[in-house]
Amino acid sequence: MNELNGDTIASGQPVLTLQGIERSFRQGRQTLEILKGVSLTIRAGEIVALVGPSGAGKSTLLHIAGLLESPDAGRITICDEVCVDLVDDERTSVRRRHLGFVYQYHHLLPEFTALENIVIPQIIAGHCKGDARDRAREILAWLGLAERETHRPARLSGGEQQRVAIGRAIATGPDLLLADEPTGNLDPHTADEVFDLLLRLARGANLAAVIATHNPGLASRMDRIARLEDGYLVET
């Protein structure tokens, strides 16, 4: 599915490297250590499951990897760019050029159609409107949603909404896909369908992907499993 992605990094090349990531939070008089020296490398074409009990820090780690949150210590490298000390505008630029996000809740813009929800991030990234609309239509067709392009989110099923969210995530041709419980809000049958689509997309476009999930069956279908527990990351 390379036609749905931009210029991809060669398979096996590091896309995301986390080294010694630490993160803690104050809770009253206590300090909660969430991440204790976490290190992880994700390569192009590799899909990694991020698992662990609730509260283990999976979302925190994804937010740090996605430059949405800063660690207390450690180093983040995305596509050979060291990102820890970047200012806000520079972090935003890295996200737009390299990253795609999928969340448990689709977070589609309710006043815009399925097509427009996929067009908008492309325009923000600097693509011309005509090219963005053509690409959005191509993506919706690949997602099996060509007949839904004029529908607003309220007229889409939960699975259709999440498919549009996936389409939005890949619209700008990212190198790294970060997904936080992307099927956690769906019934089991729909979750399987959406997850199958997500895997096919990531593998076809040679993306590096980190997918947080509580579902051991889904985790077992990925290339590697990294487990967060007690602040440490252990690969299984």
> Residue 142 has what DSSP assignment?
H
Long-range pairs for 217-223 at CB < 8 Å and ≥24 separation?
218/49, 218/183, 218/191, 219/49, 219/51, 220/49, 221/195, 222/47, 222/48, 222/49, 223/46, 223/47, 223/48
Taking only the tens place, the pLDDT of each residue in 173-187 is 999 999 998 887 788
Name the region of 30 (left: φ>0; alpha: ψ -120 to 50; beta: rest): beta
- Rounded distance between C-alpha atoms, residue 123 and residue 141, angstroms: 20
- The answer to whether 150 touches 162, Cβ cutoff 8 Å, is no
Structural domains of the chain sorted by starting position, each given as residue range(s) with its CATH number in brackets: 7-104+166-235 (3.40.50.300)
Neighbours of 132 (CB within 10 A): 23
Q: β-strand 30-43 against 14-27: which pairing, if any?
A: antiparallel
Chain mean pLDDT for the chain: 90
Whether the pLDDT of residue 2 is over 50: the answer is: no
Which pLDDT tens digit goes with each residue over 143-163? 889 999 999 999 999 889 988
Residue 1's pLDDT band, with cuts at 50, 70 and 90, is very low
What's the pLDDT tens digit per position in 52-92?
A: 998 889 999 999 999 999 999 999 999 999 998 899 999 99
> Does the pTM exceed 0.85?
yes
